[in-house]
Amino acid sequence: MKKTMELNKSTVPQPITTIYRLHMFIHSIIMVALVYYRVSILFKFENILSLQALAWVLITFGEFSFILKWFFGQGTRWRPVERDVFPENITYKDSDLPPIDVMVFTANPKKEPIVDVMNTVISAMALDYPTDKLAVYLADDGGCPLSLYAMEEACVFAKLWLPFCRKYGIKTRCPKAFFSPLGDDDRVLKNDDFDAEMKEIKLKYEEFQQNVERAGESGKINGNVVPDRASFIKVINDRKTESEKSADDLTKMPLLVYVSRERRFNRLHHFKGGSANALLRVSGIMSNAPYILVLDCDFFCHDPISARKAMCFHLDPKLSSDLAYVQFPQVFYNVSKSDIYDVKIRQAYKTIWHGMDGIQGPVLSGTGYFLKRKALYTSPGVKEEYLTSPEKHFGRSKKFLASLEEKNGYVKAEKVISEDIVEEAKTLATCAYEDGTHWGQEIGYSYDCHLESTFTGYLLHCKGWTSTYLYPDRPSFLGCAPVDMQGFSSQLIKWVAALTQAGLSHLNPITYGLSSRMKTLQCMCYAYLMYFTLYSWGMVLYASVPSIGLLFGFQVYPEVHDPWFAVYVIAFISTILENMSESIPEGGSVKSWWMEYRALMMMGVSAIWLGGLKAILDKIIGTQGEKLYLSDKAIDKEKLKKYEKGKFDFQGIGILAVPLIAFSVLNLVGFIVGVNHVFITMNYAGVLGQLLVSSFFVFVVVTVVIDVISFLKVS
């Protein structure tokens, strides 16, 4: 019997996994001991209303926050998995590969440069995948006429770019990246024809770029967001012309469609989640591919075979039945060596996601994932449950309801998209279409959280779906990271606020998750993410209570000669070693670990804390879901220079400067007062713990805060 070649393999890294589990056991004993110490001393206070007792309660609460956050995080360290794929082992012919719809999302041309958005679109069109099985959609939630014009220009350029990439086997298929240092290996001279064609292509790319920029600058085409508008859909490149070309024709192009859904001032639009659901319906009657690649507009395709790599999981009969999506990491091309803001978020993509992959799968991360369309409609193992009352679930469009029938399947490439289909698609993209349906609730992307992808992935896991994570050597997708404090911290506040709101909702991982089909360890992982703000409350209390104790003369840590002091020292060392073990082995260094740790401490008392606080206040007041901050993808050259030199840029941080400066001044003053007390009394035993905490905070943060104060003075 012929042995079937494997499409993928997974390994549990050793000995690090065994070390993780051993550390869990040891560290848990230490944590239990600290809880016992804090609670036992608390009951010994004669006056529970005294300042000393209040400080003890607060620092105890802070340590409980750290411990609970640590406990949830152990789910991500129990069984990490690393995966590899073998796309060369796919036995399917190209004509038999499952179709893929690529969905690119943009919302504001002022914050998301249009030429960069078009680079993402072109890179998606250039994927090494059968063109008759590929459709590319741009969801323009800004309804900007300039974006439509740019997409038409991009299509013209793509007719030259795609054959060039195919002819010479170019890997860097985003034109902007190809003509940058990222494409150095691809630009190596292959022959004289290559050199001549490359020069011609470069001229055509510059012409395309200039045409778009001039159109916007001249004002001939509106380059602004149109907030109140009807739905508009245009097929930029249809199937009629492409179907006449042979299968091996290098000039073949995928279906290319521009979609701008209806938006009205008096209707909720649900941000990206609403845009994604509208595009699900539109694509459902135009191409209806069983798999969807989702890309943010600033994340371009960097590996042309990423789709084939994803199919190594989706086509694996051992995994495919309950596999909802394959997630690739978010990798940024503009991260500096020092990475002073920790924008690459190494802990998430190198530790947490691998850890979740060993349980039920990683988080749906917003971009760079291949999703099974059916997973957004039903649960695994439940056949067509939504077809019992399809209109109630999906609305009244007969064409869309017909697309749900499994026998109907993919809309074949030779089928021309008629005007009737375009008009029906416009109806599917109206505000009113979702009225009285289950869109955003049981169907499609969830509207219960601003992080629509992450929360939808969570709900998919609750339904019993699984996911996989692939971190290839060559990044499959590359994006642009924020390069200043304001950009990254604003993004972080948005993430933390949305996750905390989800954790405070009735769909939280403690009550809802544990009662669903989600595994217990997976619930712990989601609790770690949704309650990550616990870390910030611990940090805020550690950054304030010990220093206040030094100022007012009360003690919150055991004396040096007390054995419990040694327990605290061991706990600190254990925590640092755990943190370093997750950073240094994954391509980091002591310096990079220190930068990450410093950034985490800074954000812990500013952006993470404010994000969690915002979520709590929004929950109390009932204002969540009304506004959403859109990250600025346009990079300022001066800010980029400062970032590359390792210098902090605090322009526009606003309220974030308040807690940073306040806690730094408090710790500096508390440290000076504490040292002075030691010199006067010649007794350091009772205050050494508080001095060490204050000095550590001063050492980590104050040097940065001096830059903040200097910047504010200059401003």
Q: Categorize the per-residue pLDDT at 600 as very low, low, confident or very high, splitting at 50, 70 and 90.
A: confident
Q: Choose, from 231, 306, 365, 453, the residue flagged as catalytic.
A: 453
Q: Which residue has the tokens 């669903």?
A: 516
Q: Residue 563 in contact with residue 706, Cβ under 8 Å?
A: no
pLDDT of residue 338: 78
Residue 232 has pLDDT above 80, yes or no: yes
CA angle (266, 268, 269) in 5-degree steps:
120
pLDDT of residue 627: 61
Find out whether 176 is annotated in a ligand binding site. no
User: In the chain, what percentage of residues exceed pLDDT 90?
Assistant: 65
Known catalytic residue at 453: yes
pLDDT of residue 2: 44
pLDDT of residue 236: 96
Query: In one letter, which amino acid is 600?
Result: L
Q: Residue 272 in contact with residue 105, Cβ under 8 Å?
A: yes
ω before 15 within 30° of 0 (cis)? yes
What is the three-state SS of 126-153? CCCCCHHHEEEEEEECCCCHHHHHHHHH
pLDDT digits (tens, 9 = 90+) for 526-554: 999 999 999 999 999 999 999 999 898 88
Residue 605 has pLDDT above 70, yes or no: yes
Rg (CA), the chain: 27
**Residue 500 to residue 494: CA distance in whole angstroms:** 10
Find out whether 405 is annotated in a ligand binding site. no
Residues found in the chain: 715
CA atoms within 13 A on the CB side of 440: 21
SS3 category, 68 = helix
Q: Name every residue whose Cβ is closer than 8 Å to that of residue 450 and which is 6 or more positions away in sequence.
A: 271, 494, 497, 498, 501, 624, 625, 628
SS3 category, 53 = helix
Q: Categorize the per-residue pLDDT at 679 as very low, low, confident or very high, splitting at 50, 70 and 90.
A: confident
pLDDT digits (tens, 9 = 90+) for 7-42: 999 999 999 999 999 999 999 999 999 999 999 998
Q: What are the φ and ψ backbone dihedral angles of 36, each rounded to 5 degrees? A: -60, -45
Least Cα distance to 93 among 124, 123, 133, 125 occurs for 133
Please state which of the ranges 54-58, 168-172, 216-220, 495-499 shows the lowest mean pLDDT. Answer: 216-220
pLDDT digits (tens, 9 = 90+) for 369-427: 999 999 999 999 776 666 677 888 899 999 999 888 765 555 665 567 899 999 999 99
pLDDT of residue 602: 86
Mean pLDDT of all residues in 494-509: 94
In whole numbers, what is the pLDDT of the chain averaged over residues?
89
Q: What are the φ and ψ backbone dihedral angles of 704, each rounded to 5 degrees? A: -75, -40
Token pair belonging to 617: 């206040």
Q: Categorize the per-residue pLDDT at 495 as very low, low, confident or very high, splitting at 50, 70 and 90.
A: very high
Eight-state DSSP code of residue 288: -
User: In the chain, what percentage of residues exceed pLDDT 70?
Assistant: 92
Q: Choose, from 141, 186, 357, 649, the residue flagged as catalytic.
A: 141
**Residue 666 to residue 672: CA distance in whole angstroms:** 10
Please state which of the ranges 279-293, 594-608, 632-646 shows the lowest mean pLDDT. Answer: 632-646
Cite the beta strand spans of 305-443 per DSSP E.
323-327, 331-332, 369-372
Give, in order, the Cα–Cα distances in Å from 48 to each of 54, 57, 63, 690. 7, 9, 19, 21
The alpha-helical segments, DSSP class H, found in 481-544 are 485-504, 520-530, 533-542
Find out whether 484 is annotated in a ligand binding site. no
Pairing between β-strand 291-296 and β-strand 100-106 as defined by DSSP bridges:
parallel
Q: What are the φ and ψ backbone dihedral angles of 413, each rounded to 5 degrees? A: -65, -30
Expressed in angstroms, the distance from the first to the final Cα of the chain is 76
Q: Name every residue whose Cβ is closer than 8 Å to that of residue 110 and which is 6 or more positions away in sequence.
A: 224, 225, 634
Higher pLDDT, 385 or 696: 696
Q: Name every residue whose Cβ is closer than 8 Å to that of residue 497 and which is 6 or more positions away in sequence.
A: 450, 611, 612, 614, 615, 618
**Residue 506 to residue 497: CA distance in whole angstroms:** 16
Higher pLDDT, 468 or 582: 468
Sheet of strand 300-301: strand arrangement: 300-301, 477-479, 331-332
Q: Categorize the per-residue pLDDT at 1 as very low, low, confident or very high, splitting at 50, 70 and 90.
A: very low
Please state which of the ranges 345-359, 473-487, 598-612, 671-685 shows the lowest mean pLDDT. Answer: 671-685
Least Cα distance to 161 among 258, 254, 95, 248 occurs for 254
Find out whether 111 is annotated in a ligand binding site. yes
**Residue 684 to residue 313: CA distance in whole angstroms:** 61
Residue 713 has pLDDT above 60, yes or no: no
CB atoms within 10 A of CB 445: 27
What is the three-state SS of 399-415? HHHHHCCCCCCCCCCCC
Token pair belonging to 560: 């040096």
The alpha-helical segments, DSSP class H, found in 543-686 are 545-552, 563-583, 590-604, 607-621, 637-644, 657-681
Cite the beta strand spans of 5-142 per DSSP E.
8-11, 82-85, 100-106, 134-140
Q: Which residue has the tokens 């109630």?
A: 392
Give, in order, the Cα–Cα distances in Å from 360 to each of 75, 96, 528. 11, 29, 15
Higher pLDDT, 123 or 583: 123
Token pair belonging to 682: 């010649």
Least Cα distance to 346 among 592, 562, 164 occurs for 592
Q: Is 675 exposed, middle or buried (0-12, 13-18, 19+ CB in 10 A)?
A: middle
Q: What are the φ and ψ backbone dihedral angles of 290, each rounded to 5 degrees? A: -70, -15
Mean pLDDT of all residues in 454-467: 97
CB atoms within 10 A of CB 134: 27
pLDDT digits (tens, 9 = 90+) for 368-383: 999 999 999 999 977 6
Higher pLDDT, 634 or 254: 254
Query: In one letter, which amino acid is 479?
Result: G
Q: Categorize the per-residue pLDDT at 175 as very low, low, confident or very high, splitting at 50, 70 and 90.
A: very high
Token pair belonging to 470: 């692939």
Q: Residue 656 in contact with residue 606, Cβ under 8 Å?
A: yes
pLDDT digits (tens, 9 = 90+) for 250-292: 889 999 999 999 999 999 999 999 999 999 999 999 999 999 9
pLDDT of residue 99: 96
Find out whether 141 is annotated in a ligand binding site. yes
ω before 472 within 30° of 0 (cis)? no
Known catalytic residue at 141: yes
pLDDT digits (tens, 9 = 90+) for 66-112: 999 999 999 999 999 999 999 999 999 998 999 999 999 999 998 99
Query: In one letter, which amino acid is 168?
Result: Y
Residue 709 has pLDDT above 60, yes or no: no
Q: Categorize the per-residue pLDDT at 625 as very low, low, confident or very high, splitting at 50, 70 and 90.
A: low
Residue 502 has pLDDT above 90, yes or no: yes
pLDDT of residue 172: 97
